Amino acid sequence: MKSLYWDDLEEGDELPAFSREITRTTIVATAIASRDFQPVHHDHEAAQREGAKDIFLNILSTGGFVGRYLTDWSGPEGELRKITIKLGATVFPGDTLTAGGKVVKKYEEEGEHRVDVEYHFSVAMGPHAWGSATMALPVKGK
């Protein structure tokens, strides 16, 4: 995997598109991995009793997908410094989660070369998660 260099970015640059099919296994496995054992994330009937149509992706899993999207984009030398996440539509089994984003600011701070990005994740029902993040990136020749 290649690292993205701060030098090669401009404000307004688009982040690559991302798409992932969310399966029942994805929802259960990521809930377990984040130690979220609430039945609404693994038990269909429990989710329905709580008013949902089926089990659904938990908040920590969304955060994990956002972090992975940003660090996959930046490469192994990029470092996530700050992230905000706002939540919207629920993600159910069978949904396709899609993402995109853009660079909104490029600057130097605290001896680092940073970029601020805005990102968005959606499913067919509508926007699932959106927010901003600050990434520290390497520069060429250092």
Domain residue limits, the chain:
12-137
The pLDDT value recorded for residue 24 is 97
CB-CB contact of 24 with 93 (8 Å): yes
Question: Global pTM?
Answer: 0.93
CA distance 117 to 131: 8
For residue 107, the model assigns a pLDDT of 98
Q: What mean pLDDT comes out for the span 111-134?
A: 98
The predicted structure's pLDDT at residue 141: 83
Residue 142 banded pLDDT, cuts 50, 70, 90 = confident
Sign of CA dihedral 100, 42, 30, 24: negative
Q: What percent of the chain has pLDDT over 90?
A: 96
Tell me which CATH code domain 12-137 carries: 3.10.129.10
State residue 1's pLDDT score: 79
pLDDT single digits (tens) 73-106: 999 999 999 999 999 999 999 999 999 999 999 9
Q: What is the pLDDT of residue 80?
A: 97
